[in-house]
Structure 1
Amino acid sequence: MLMEQATTVRKEWSSVCDSVIHEKPKFIKRTRDRMWFSNLETMEEILNAYKFTAEKYMEDDGSVTLSLNEIDLIENGEDEQKAKMALGKAILEYSADYYNDYAFYSHSPNRKGHIPYIFKALIMDSPERIGESIQCHDGKN
C-alpha cells in the first residue's frame, strides 16, 4: 500500500492537508499504526452505501412508531414525518454519545457494527437531514 511515514507528514503538515483536501486521501504509517486521512466529503461519499432504515408501525391512536433497523432506537410521532424527525434527533444524540465514549462503544460486540452509521450521522450533522434520509418499510403489528 502507498503509506507515507508519519515523520514526513508531520514535517509537511500544511502541504499534506492541502493534498488531502484538494487531491486524494493519504495512508499514513507510524511504527505499527496505520491511518487514513481524508476530507469529510470523501468520507460522506464512502458512507453513502449505508442507509438508515426503519420498520413503521401504525398505532391504535393514529400515531406512527418507527423502529430503526441499524441501531436499537425507537421513536413515535403524530405522523410518519414527525416520527422520522424524532428518530433523526435520537440518531444524532446517540452518535454524539458514542463518539464521546468511542473507546467503550466501539469495543462492545453488540455496538461495534454501529460505527459506519455513527460517522454517517455525525458527518450529516442535522437531525432533519438524518430524518429525511430514513427509509421506512411497513412493519407487522
Structure 2
Amino acid sequence: MLQLAEKASDVRQHFSEFVDTVVRDRPGFVTRNRDILAALNLEHLAVLVEPLQFHANLESDENQEYVGTVDEVEDIVVGGATKDEAMTAIAQMLIEYAEDYLTDSFRLYFNAPNRRKHFPYVLKVAMLDTVDDVKRLIHA
C-alpha cells in the first residue's frame, strides 16, 4: 500500500485533482510522516458496509409490551407497545448512537474494546437518510 500512497505535500498542491480522482475514479491514499490516510467516496464505503445488517431480539414483557435489543450494538435496549413500535425505537436509537459515536464520543468509543466493533455499523447507519431506511436493516 505504501507504493500507492501519495505524499501529503503533493496532495496539498493538487488537492482538487486528488478529490476528483477519489470521487470519480478510485480510492486514494496519503502518507504524512508515519501516518497513512485512506480516502473513499460514499459509493466505495457503501460496498464495504453493504453486507452488514442488524439482528434484533424482541420479547414481550408481563404488560404485553415489547422490549428490543440489538446483537451488534448490545448497549441498545428499547421498548414499545407493539413490535413495530419497538423496531422503530431501535432504528431511532441506532441513529442517535451513530451521531454520538461519530461526533462527540468518537475517540472514546473507537478506542474502547467493546465499542470498536460497532464502527462499521455506525458508518452504515450514518449513510442512511431516514428511520425507515435504518429499520429495513433490522431483522427480528
Please say whether Structure 1 and Structure 2 have the same fold, judged by a TM-score greater than 0.5.
yes
User: Whose relative contact order is higher, 1 or 2, with alpha carbons under 8 Å and at least 6 apart?
Assistant: 1
Q: Structure 1 runs of 4+ off > 6 angstroms?
A: none
Q: Does residue 12 of the first structure (1) align with residue 14 of the second (2)? A: yes
Q: Which amino acid aligns with 1:87?
A: I
Structure 1 CA distance for aligned equivalents of residues 44 and 77 of structure 2? 30
Q: Does residue 50 of the first structure (1) align with residue 87 of the second (2)? A: no
User: What TM-score, normalized to structure 2?
Assistant: 0.89
1:81 to 56, 80, 84: 84
Q: Does residue 118 of the first structure (1) align with residue 122 of the second (2)? A: yes
> Quick one: percent identity of the two aligned structures?
28
Structure 1 CA distance for aligned equivalents of residues 66 and 34 of structure 2? 50
Give the alignment of 1:1-141 within 5 angstroms: 1=1, 2-71=4-73, 72-100=75-103, 101-136=105-140
Structure 2 CA distance for aligned equivalents of residues 103 and 97 of structure 1? 11
Q: Structure 2: state its 5+ residue gaps.
A: none
Structure 1 CA distance for aligned equivalents of residues 98 and 107 of structure 2? 13
**Aligned-residue RMSD, C-alpha:** 1.4
Q: Structure 1: state its 5+ residue gaps.
A: 137-141
